[in-house]
Structure 1
C-alpha cells in the first residue's frame, strides 16, 4: 500500500517542487565576484590558455568572461569574437534540423533509415523485426560502433558528406538489438545529415545556415575553416606541456565540425530554453523541444528513467535538477552548454585545452550558479528486501562505445553494489570510493556524489534475461552499461588480467637481467641455460609493453600509416610469435633449466603468455592494423 501511494504521489511532488523552485529562485542573483575569482583561479592553476564563459537567461546575458589567449605563440587574447571549435555540440544542430523537418511533416522520428537512404549500407542482423530508425541514430541507441582510429585521424578539408561514408563502413554495424542500449557513436549523425540532404535537396551545412544560423543571428558560425575562422579561431593545446594541436578537419562535419563563439552559441541555447522560441520567432514547437530533451528509445528509459541521452541533447543531473545540453571534445579543446528552462539559467563554457581543467571548471560554475537553489531530490523509495537483493552484486562493463576497447575495460573496470549500514552503495571501478545510492523506484536509483551530481542508475534485463545496470550518459564513460555477474565471474578475469600484466612486466625486467647475465657468461665461455626460452619471454613482454604504451598515447598517429601504427602492428604479431617460441623452447629444453625458480617462472610465464595471446586473438588484436 505504501509503495502504491508513493507511485501516485511522486509525480505530484515533483511538479510542486519544480514550481516552487522556479518561482523562488528564477531571479536569484549571481555571485559575480565569486564566479570571476573561481574562473581566474582555475585558469591559473590548470594553465588554461584561454576561455569563454557565459551565464544567461532565455532573454538576457547575466555574466560574461573572456580571458587568456587564443594563441600562445602570437599572444592573441580571447575576446567575445573568438571562435572555438566546439566538436560534438554540432550534433545538437543535427537534431534541431531534423525536428524542423518533423515539424513540416517531411520526416517522422520512427521512419526507417534504410528506406530513406538505401545507398548507405547498415549491417543490422535484426532488420526484419527491429530496423534502425531516425530516433535511434539521434539517441545513439542503434548499436553502432564508434569511429575507428582511421576515421578519427582522417584529415581532409574538402571531403563531402557522401564520400565520408566510404571511410569507415564497419562502424555502421548494429552490435545489439536497435533501440535497447545507448552507446555514443560519431557514425550516426552523418547518416541523419544525409537524410536531411535527401529530403531538402540542400547540402546539410547550407540548410543549417538558412534555417538555424540566420534566424538566430549566428552570422560568424561556420563548419569550415573559412570566414571568421581564418582570423579569430582559438588554437587547441594538448597535454601538460601545451603542445599546439593542428586544426582537425573532421571526417564528417555533422558529428563535430562547428566553429563558433560562446556569444553566438547563446541564441541557440536560448531558443531551446524558450521552448523553440527566440525573439518572437517560433523555430520549433514546444512539444518537439520537449522530445529533444527526453530520451525514450532505450530499455532504461522505457523502464522509467528520466535521465540519459535524448535527441543529441543529454541530461546532467545536479542536486536533482535536470540540466540539458551537450558537450564537445576536440584535439586540445573542450566545450559545453547547459540549461534548465524551469530555473531560467543557461551556461556555456569553452576552453582551448584538454585534461581535468574542463571538469573542474564545470563543477565550480554549477556550484556557484545553483548555490542558492535547493536540491530537488525525489523521495526515497522504500525497497523491499527482495528488491534490494536484485541490486546487490558485481557488474562487468558491456555494450562498449568502441568495440575494440572491450578487451581492456573488461579487465580493469569492475562495478559493485553492496549494502552498508542498511543503505545501498555503489563502487564505480576498482579502488573507487563508495557512493551512496538513493532508490527512487524499484529499479531506479540516484548516485549522491560529493560534487553534487546525482546521475541515475537503472536496472533492466537484456534479451537473454540478464540484469544490466545502465548508467546515465557522461563524458569519458566508454561503457554506459554493465552486466551482472557472479563474484567469480567478476574477479577471475580481473585477477588473471592483472597477473598477466604483472608477468609481462617481469618478463621485461628479468629479460634485461638475463641479457646481461648471458653476455657475462658468454665472455667466460659459458652459456645461460634455456636461453631461447628466456629470449622469447623477453621479446613477448617487451612487445606488449610497447604496444600498450602506444595504444594509450595521444594524437591520431595510430589512425594513419606511421611509425607508431606500424610499431603496434609489428608488436601485435611479434608478441604471439614470441609466446609460441617460448612454449616450443620450454617443451624442448625444460630439462636444461637450472634452478627451481627459473623453471617455475618460465613455466608460469609461458602459460600466462598463451592465455594473453588467446584472449587478444578473440578480440582481433593479433596483427592489429590501427590504420585500417
Structure 2
C-alpha cells in the first residue's frame, strides 16, 4: 500500500488490476518515516548515473547502458513432469520454442529498461513444465546488487489467491464452511467483527468475504496507513477500525473490492485451525507446492534478499509496508515459487503426479458464486482470489498485486495451458500494463480465434424491462456525492445500450434474457437481475448499478 501519496480512485468496481488504489489523504497528514529496505553494498557504475541524470533511456540506449543488470535464468528441463494432464485441464500447451521465449523475455526486459525499472522478474509455464524463470536488473539502486533467482518480491493482492486455496483446504479438512453463516462459529471477542444490517435475511459467509460481496467499502485510511513497524496479530489488526467492516448495501449482490474481507477470513481460519494463518499456509500449501522461498512474514531470509520497491518515479524508495491484513496482501515470494502455483491451477489441482486438490475445488477458486450475476450463470468476475476476464475474446484467469513499491500480475489460460507471473519494483502501471499485454498475447498465441455465442433474439418486452436510469450502487472508497452518478440503459435498433453520464452509448449483445456481452467479447460479462425488493441490478466491467424499484 502506498502510504505517502493520494492515488486516484474510481467509483466503479476496480477489480484486481487496481487492487490497491487508496482512500484520499486527510489534510495535514504527514508521510511515513519508515526506512527503505537496504541490501549488501555494490559500487554503482558511472555510466548508469549519467544516463539516469538525463531521464529514462530509450530501448537502444538501455541495451548498451544496462551493464550491471544481468539476466539470471533457472534451467527448466529438469522440472518437467512426466505425468499426463488430467482430462479436465483442457489441451496442453504445445512445446514452446526457446528462441520464441528468448525473444519474449527480451521484450519484457526492454520494457523494463525503457521505463527505468530497477528490477523485474518473469515466470513462464505450461501444463507440463516450467519454461522460464528470469530476473532482470538490480535489487537496490544504491548498492546495485544484481537481482538473482533468490531475490524476493512483494506481490500484494496476489496473496488472495493463496488465501482462497487455504480456505478451500480448511474446508476439505472439515474446519470450516465457505457458505455457512459466519455467526455460527464467531469467536468471543471484545470488538465487533462486522456489522450487517441485513443479517437476518442475508447473513455473511466466508465466500462473501473472499468474493468482495459483503457490502463493504475498502479498508479505512487508519488501516491502510497504520504505522506498524512489524507484523501484528490479526486480532489487533481487526481492532484498528471495526466500523470499516459495515455492510452499506445488501450482501450477496454486488462485488466491490475490499481488503478487509480476506483479512477477516484469514483471522477466522486461524480460529478454526487453532494456529496462525502463516503456520497453516506453510504446512498445507507452501510445503506441498515446494514454495520454500515464500513467506507472509518478513523473516530474516526474506529481508536479506528483498528487492527494494520504488515510487512512481522508479527512483524514490518506499519503506516495507507491514499491511495489517497479511492474508489480503502480505506475501513475499521468490519468483520460481510461482511456477508450481501456476501449474497447480492449470492442471486442476494436480502437480507432478500428486493430487493436491480435487478439480472441482480449483473450479470453485475461479468461479464467482455470491453475486446476483453469478446466480444467472455469469462466470466472468471475481471468485475466491482469482478473477475471470477476457483478453482478445479469450477467457483468462488472473489477479494483480500492489505491494507498495511493487506491481505484479499472475495470469493463465486454461484453454492454452499456459501461465505467467510478472513483477516490477516500481509503482508505475505503464510498464506493467505493457508487459501484461505482451505476456497475455503469448498465453493465447497458439489458439484459434474463439467463436462468439449467437445473439439471442429476444422479444422487445424482454429488453425494455431493463431500460431506464440507474444509479451507482457501490463504491470502494466513498466520496461525497458518489451515489449521484447515473447510467442510462436504452433500446436502440433491437439492442440494449449502456451510457454512463458524459460517455458514449455502447451496445450489448444478448446471450439470454439476463446475460449480455459486448461486441468484442465471446462470453457474457454484463448481467441484469431483478432483486427481491423490485429493484434491478446491473453488473459488469462497467461497475455496479441499481435501478430503484418503482414507488
Name the TM tier (shorter chain): 0.7 to 0.9
Of 132, 140, 153, 2:204 maps to: 132
Partner of 1:278: 351
Aligned-partner SS, 2:526: strand
Aligned-partner SS, 1:188: helix
Residues 80-479 of structure 1 mapped to structure 2, 5 A cutoff: 80-118=149-187, 119=189, 120-156=192-228, 157-240=230-313, 242-354=315-427, 355-384=429-458, 385-390=460-465, 392=467, 394-402=469-477, 404-405=478-479, 407=480, 409-410=482-483, 415-417=487-489, 426-427=498-499, 430-431=502-503, 437-448=508-519, 456-472=525-541
Give the Cα–Cα distance (whole angstroms) in 2 for the partners of residues 485 and 400 of structure 1. 17
Compute the TM-score of the two structures, normalised by the length of structure 1.
0.67
- Confirm or deny: 8 A CA contact 1:455 1:471 kept in the other structure: no
Call closer, same or farther: CA 1:24–1:390 in 2, change over 3 Å.
farther
288-297 or 189-198: bigger deviation:
189-198
Greater Rg by CA:
1
> Post-superposition shift, 1:53?
1.4
Q: Which whole-Å deviations, capped at 9, do the CAs of 1:173-231 have from their partners, x for residues lacking one? A: 11222212111111111222222222221111011111111111111211122233222
- How many residues of Structure 1 are paired with residues of Structure 2 in the alignment? 456
> Post-superposition shift, 1:375?
2.8
Structure having the higher helix fraction is: 1
> Post-superposition shift, 1:42?
2.4
Give the Cα–Cα distance (whole angstroms) in 2 for the partners of residues 101 and 439 of structure 1. 39
Call closer, same or farther: CA 1:471–1:202 in 2, change over 3 Å.
same
Give the Cα–Cα distance (whole angstroms) in 1 for the partners of residues 481 and 132 of structure 2. 43
Of 55, 70, 90, 2:139 maps to: 70
Partner of 1:494: none
Call closer, same or farther: CA 1:23–1:138 in 2, change over 3 Å.
closer
Partner of 1:504: none
Call closer, same or farther: CA 1:22–1:132 in 2, change over 3 Å.
closer
- Confirm or deny: 8 A CA contact 1:220 1:227 kept in the other structure: no
Q: Which whole-Å deviations, capped at 9, do the CAs of 1:24-46 have from their partners, x for residues lacking one? A: 96556583254234323422333
Of 33, 43, 48, 2:117 maps to: 48
Give the Cα–Cα distance (whole angstroms) in 2 for the partners of residues 160 and 21 of structure 1. 39
Aligned-partner SS, 2:252: coil
Q: Which whole-Å deviations, capped at 9, do the CAs of 1:329-372 have from their partners, x for residues lacking one? A: 12221111112233211111111112332222211211233133
Compute the TM-score of the two structures, normalised by the length of structure 2.
0.76
Call closer, same or farther: CA 1:416–1:245 in 2, change over 3 Å.
farther
> Post-superposition shift, 1:466?
2.6
- Confirm or deny: 8 A CA contact 2:231 2:324 kept in the other structure: no
Give the Cα–Cα distance (whole angstroms) in 2 for the partners of residues 347 and 54 of structure 1. 5
Call closer, same or farther: CA 1:198–1:326 in 2, change over 3 Å.
same
> Post-superposition shift, 1:23?
4.6
Give the Cα–Cα distance (whole angstroms) in 1 for the partners of residues 108 and 491 of structure 2. 39
- Confirm or deny: 8 A CA contact 2:528 2:538 kept in the other structure: yes
Q: RCO greater where, 1 or 2, for CA within 8 Å and sep 6 or more? A: 2
Give the Cα–Cα distance (whole angstroms) in 2 for the partners of residues 64 and 435 of structure 1. 41
Call closer, same or farther: CA 1:438–1:51 in 2, change over 3 Å.
farther
> Post-superposition shift, 1:251?
0.9
Give the Cα–Cα distance (whole angstroms) in 2 for the partners of residues 315 and 429 of structure 1. 27
- Confirm or deny: 8 A CA contact 1:182 1:298 kept in the other structure: yes
Aligned-partner SS, 2:260: coil
Aligned-partner SS, 1:222: coil
Q: Which whole-Å deviations, capped at 9, do the CAs of 1:275-297 have from their partners, x for residues lacking one? A: 22222332222121111111111
Q: Which whole-Å deviations, capped at 9, do the CAs of 1:406-443 have from their partners, x for residues lacking one? A: x26456x6545556776655556645x66554332222
Give the Cα–Cα distance (whole angstroms) in 2 for the partners of residues 471 and 74 of structure 1. 46
